[in-house]
Amino acid sequence: MTSEVAEFSLPIRVYVEDTDAGGIVFYANYLKFMERARTELMRGLGFDKPALFDGMQFVVHEVGLKYHSPAILDDEIYVTAVLTKASRATFEMTQQVYRGSSIGDRQLLVEGRVKVACIDVHSKRPKGMPKIMFETLKSQIG
């Protein structure tokens, strides 16, 4: 395990469908952008069906967001995902949405924390994720 935290970043273009009548990204759409980044992070770790696996499902258990500045029509934004905690039945990530592709050039737009729970697909009760997945997630935490 290293002390450096691995940050996943996904570029997204803001389209008309993402905005309100004023050309500003509708606040709830940041959750969709964050979902895409989490999904692509999981895909990059080798889990290409991150929402539904054999007998288990991942659901958002808790989310908290802080809005700093709006994204607007045609912006290229970047959505990050950093794993911060993992247990057998949950994992947590911090996520940011920003404008600008390099560290010194970033303008923070939205930041959040998301806790995802693993549940049994039938009973909807907490269920431990497969050992290989848990170990992979743990290995990504700095």
User: What positions carry a catalytic annotation?
Assistant: 20
Using only the alpha carbons of the chain, give its radius of gyration: 16
Give CA–CA dist 119/81, Å, rounded. 22
- 95: burial class by Cβ within 10 Å (0-12, 13-18, 19+)? buried
